[in-house]
Copies of this chain bind each other. A is one copy, B any other.
Amino acid sequence: MSDSNSAVTRMHKYNPELTDLVFDYMRDRLAMPEVPLDFPGDKQVLAAALAGLIKPEGNPAADVLKLYDKVVSRAVVSGDSPRFMAFIPTAPTKAALLFDMIVSCASIQGISWLEAAGSITAENQVLRWMADVAGLPQSAGGTFVSGGSAANLAALTVARETGRENRGLKNRAPVRIALSKQAHSSIGNSLAILDVEPLIVETAGFAMTVNDLTIALAKCDPNEPPVVGVVVTAGTTNAGILDDLSGIGKFARENKLWFHVDAAYGGAGLLAPSTKSLFVGIELADSITMDPHKWWFAPFDVAAILYREPRLAAAVHTQDASYLDVLHEDDDVINPTDLAYHLTRRARGLPLWFSVAVNGTKAYSDAVEASVQLTREVAELIRTHPELELVIEPSLSVVLWRKIGWEAKDYRDLQDRLITNQTAFVTPTSWQGETVGRFAFVHPGTTIEMVKEVFAAL
C-alpha cells in the first residue's frame, strides 16, 4: 500500500533537483536587463524537434527544459520585450511577475467567498482602486477574467438581459446594441455569440459622437428590434482613438441604454496626468472593460470587468447547481464567479494587487505617462522626417505612420527585416483601406532610440 501509494504520488512529491533547475532558469530570465525578442518559428521544424516526446515512461526533466529553452521558447516572440511594438504588448512589473508565480505555486483561486475570502478581498481591493480611477460609484464591483473578449462578452450579456427586463420583453426577444465600426472585433464577436443584431453607427469622424448615435437611432424603424445599449471605445486597439464618452454617456443614461465602455487597452490612460481628461464620461458607464495585462503592467492573462451595479450581473451569470448551493446560502453574497461567464478561476487579479501595493499608484501613473510622452516624441520624429507622415494624430500610445510611396509589401518586408535583426517586432495594420505602419507602446523600457533603430531600417 505505502509502496504503491508512493508510486502514484511521485509526480506530486517535492523534487529539489527539478525545483533548482526551474528556479535557476527563472532567475536567469528575471535578471536579464532586457529579454530577447526571439523569433517566429517554423511549424515543421518545431514539430520534428518535439516528436516522440509524449510517451509512457517520460523523459528527464533537464532534457525537456533544455528543449523548451533552446527550441520552443526561441520561437515565441516576447510580448514583454521593450522592442515588441506590435498588437498590444505586455509589460509586467517584476513584482507582478513574481506574484503570478506565487499564484501558480500555491494554486490560489478566487471562486467564492466560502473558499477564497482572502484572495477575493485582495482582488476586490485593487478592483476598487480601478473603479475609483474611473470615477465609478461605491456600488461598483466586478471581477477579473482571462481577457478583454471575455470581459466584453460578460458585460454585453448583462446589457442584453437588463435591456429585455427593463422593457418587459420575453426571453430571447430580439434586441440590438449600437457600436461604431472602430469598436474592437471582440464586440462584434460578442454580439454574434449573443445573437444580438449590431446597430452600426456611421461616424462623421473617426470617433463616435453623440450626434452620430442620435442620427443612427433616428433612422431606426420602430418595427425593428429595440436598441438596448451602446458600446463606446476608450482607446481603439488599432489607433488609440476615444469615442465621445461624455456625450454618449449622458445620452445613454437619459435614454436607458446600457452604456458599456471598452477600455481594454486604453483604460490605463486614466492614470497618466496628460491623458486623464480624455476619459471624462467614463464614470457614467454601466460596465467597463480594462485589461491589466495590457497597460497596467500585469502578466498574461487578466482583464477586469467592472459593473456600476454588480447585482445586475450576478442575476445573469450566477451558475445554479446542486453542488454549488453552499456558495449561495447568503443571498447578499456576490462571488467573483457570479459576475462573468466562468466558474473555476485562478486568482488572476492578485499579481496586480501585489504590484500596486508594493510599487504604489504614483509609479503606475509615471510609467503610463512615460509611454504617452514617448508617443509624442515619436509623433514629432515622424512629423519632422522627410519621408514619413503621421496617419492620424495619436491620442494615447498608438502611432499610425506611413512612409511616402510604400505599399503593403514594403511594410511586411520591414516586419521581417526587423525581427530577423532583433531590432523590433512591428506589424502593419490597415487604415481607411491603406496598409500603414503601426506602433503600440506600453513598456516603459521602450526608448526613442529603439524607435529610431526601426526608422533607420526603412
Contact = CB atoms under 8 A, between A and B. Distances in A.
Contacts of A12: 91, 93-94, 297, 443-445
* Interface hub of A25, A53, A126 (most chain B Cβ within 10 A): A53
Contacts of A342: 146-147, 149-150
Nearest to A27: B19
A172 interface: yes
Given A72-B119, A325-B429, A362-B57, A94 B357 contact: no
A370 B8 contact: yes
* Interface hub of A197, A323, A356 (most chain B Cβ within 10 A): A323
Shortest 6 CB-CB contacts between residues of A and residues of B: A58-B360, A41-B117, A75-B118, A100-B104, A185-B319, A11-B93
A83 interface: no
A43 B101 contact: no
A229 B211 CA distance: 44
Contact of A118 (B30, B46, B59): B46
A54 B412 CA distance: 44
19 contacts: A8-B366, A22-B101, A42-B117, A43-B117, A47-B121, A47-B125, A72-B122, A76-B119, A78-B107, A80-B107, A109-B300, A114-B427, A147-B343, A150-B150, A172-B174, A237-B323, A238-B321, A238-B322, A301-B348
Given A149-B341, A149-B343, A299 B104 contact: yes
Contacts of A388: none
A153 interface: yes
